[in-house]
Amino acid sequence: MKVNQRKQRDFDTMETIEDVFGILKEQFRNRKLYVRYSVEKTEITINEFLDDHTVMVVTDPSYKTDKIISIYGLSEKYLEVDFEIVEERGPGYFHCRIMSARRAVKGRKDLRFRVNADEAYATNFKISKHTIDISGFNIPTSIKVVLDQFHSSNSSMSDIVKVDVFSTGERDSVLKYMKKTGKTLFVPDAADPEAYEAMNEDFIDARELFGAEFNLLMKRNVEKGYKSIIIVPVLYITEVSDTIPFAYIQLISKTEYFTLDKVLDIKAQSFKLVDRIRDANTLLIPVHQEIIDISRGGAKLRITNENLIKSMLKSKGFIFDIVFRLQAPITIYGDIKATYGDESGGIFVGVDFEGNSSRKDEMKRFYSILHPMETDYKARLIKSLKKK
């Protein structure tokens, strides 16, 4: 089984075996613990604490392992413990020595509980085929094709039209600054020094940007016959609302003077361009997949669809719908924190909920549905503890 831990939990390493032994004895005597990354969530119980700080553990008789058992449990904080098997006393019955342990720095604030297939499922997965690398700007060919098509269909917007991505080592001062800030350049009259100043904080102040070289810049623009200049960044907004200025639309006129309305029109065109890029870069897979457990802040999904597995193993996250019984779908973004699978070919995917759709009160509705499920789970948990 291959485990890919995308996000590492913040841990404090416990220094002494005596400390670990004490916590296990006080907080986890006869309580259920679980084998880490076990496909079937294998339960394990410590039923005897020996004087030499070793323990006797009981688990499923069919459970097979080598010399190490890594387990986890949740009390006040999440705890992981590594056991070395001293002796196997029988099927699923082991005498173990504590090797090491780690306790989460922060306690889990959200109660996570199992759900049945008839209570909720995940569907309508939307995953980006490619990730736009803001550091290297390695734009996929499929996205460049969309930019080229946009350029071809809008080449008549002005005398000079250019649609391109920012280069890694951008030398042009305006484009370099635009790539960093996402601001727009608008020069309504290339022969007027004041026209190079910023209208507001959303625009680039070319006079300030070029400083002592500004007069030379304006002279060159006039000599080239430029009357007006507009450069608008293309802002790609990721599923988690990160804004990436990765391309630009440039219009230069030699025959007319642009107005602010023209700028607003080009901005609107840039939004449509991003929609086309997103559509071309998004894979929609409307299959039903199992939700193993869920909380207000995340979930564990079991993925069996081959296309989904291929996409998720190389993706940072994805948008999907959670459908509770007799409820309308709730659209949410899952940030992948871990993936692991088994010989059957399926994978488990642990996700944090980092965002949701633009539907009004979407998360409020999600919490209202989850609340009675949490209450029911707590009641069953208390009942089972009382029986013990």
- Identify the residue with better confidence: 362 or 332: 332
**The residue type at 276:** R
Measure the CA–CA gap between 294 and 374, rounded to whole angstroms. Answer: 10
CB count in 10 Å sphere of residue 376: 11
Residues 295, 258, single domain; the answer is no
pLDDT > 70: percent of the chain:
85
Rg of the chain on CA atoms, in Å: 29
Residues 94, 14, single domain; the answer is yes
Q: Where are the beta strands (DSSP E) in 111-199?
A: 113-114, 120-128, 160-165, 185-187
DSSP 167: P
Q: Do residues 139 and 128 make contact, with C-beta atoms less than 8 angstroms apart? A: no
**Average of pLDDT values for 123-128?**
90
Residues 96, 123, single domain; the answer is no
Measure the CA–CA gap between 140 and 311, rounded to whole angstroms. Answer: 16
The pLDDT, as a whole number, for residue 355 is 57
CB count in 10 Å sphere of residue 14: 19
Question: Which residues on neighbouring strands pair with residue 234, listed in sequence order?
Answer: 247
The CATH number of the domain where 374 resides is what? 2.40.10.220
The CATH number of the domain where 84 resides is what? 2.30.110
Report the number of distinct structural domains present in the chain. Answer: 3
Q: Are strands 185-187 and 228-237 parallel, antiparallel or unpaired?
A: antiparallel
Q: Render pLDDT for 10-67 as a digit per residue (tens, 0 to 9).
A: 566 676 888 889 888 888 877 788 888 665 678 888 888 999 999 999 998 888 877 8
Q: Do residues 103 and 79 make contact, with C-beta atoms less than 8 angstroms apart? A: yes
Q: Which residues span the domain enclosing 182?
A: 141-280
Helix intervals (H) in 185-343? 206-210, 214-223, 260-281, 306-312
Is residue 99's pLDDT more than 70?
yes
Residue-wise DSSP of 307-345: HHHHHHTT-SEEEEEEEETTS--EEEEEEEEEEEE-TTS
Q: Is residue 136 part of a domain?
A: no
Residues 9, 85, single domain; the answer is yes
Predicted TM-score (pTM) above 0.75: no
Q: Render pLDDT for 171-227 as a digit per residue (tens, 0 to 9).
A: 889 999 999 899 999 999 999 999 999 999 999 999 999 999 999 999 999 999 999
Q: Do residues 358 and 237 make contact, with C-beta atoms less than 8 angstroms apart? A: no
| SS3 of residue 170 by DSSP | coil
Q: Is residue 330 part of a domain?
A: yes
Residues 294, 352, single domain; the answer is yes
Which residues neighbour 97 within 8 Å (Cβ) at sequence distance 6 or greater? 54, 83, 84, 86
| SS3 of residue 75 by DSSP | coil
The pLDDT, as a whole number, for residue 312 is 86
The pLDDT, as a whole number, for residue 107 is 46
- Identify the residue with better confidence: 294 or 377: 294
Q: Is residue 180 part of a domain?
A: yes
Q: Do residues 95 and 68 make contact, with C-beta atoms less than 8 angstroms apart? A: no
Measure the CA–CA gap between 85 and 37, rounded to whole angstroms. Answer: 18
Residues 247, 336, single domain; the answer is no
Domain final residue, candidates 261, 280, 299: 280
Q: Do residues 247 and 165 make contact, with C-beta atoms less than 8 angstroms apart? A: yes
Q: Render pLDDT for 283-325 as a digit per residue (tens, 0 to 9).
A: 899 999 999 989 888 899 999 999 899 888 878 888 899 999 9
Q: Is residue 135 part of a domain?
A: no
Q: Do residues 239 and 334 make contact, with C-beta atoms less than 8 angstroms apart? A: no
Residues 242, 256, single domain; the answer is yes
Measure the CA–CA gap between 69 and 64, rounded to whole angstroms. Answer: 10
Looking up tokens 């609107």 gives 268
Residues 243, 262, single domain; the answer is yes
Measure the CA–CA gap between 176 and 166, rounded to whole angstroms. Answer: 8
Residues 39, 151, single domain; the answer is no
Q: Are strands 54-59 and 317-324 parallel, antiparallel or unpaired?
A: unpaired
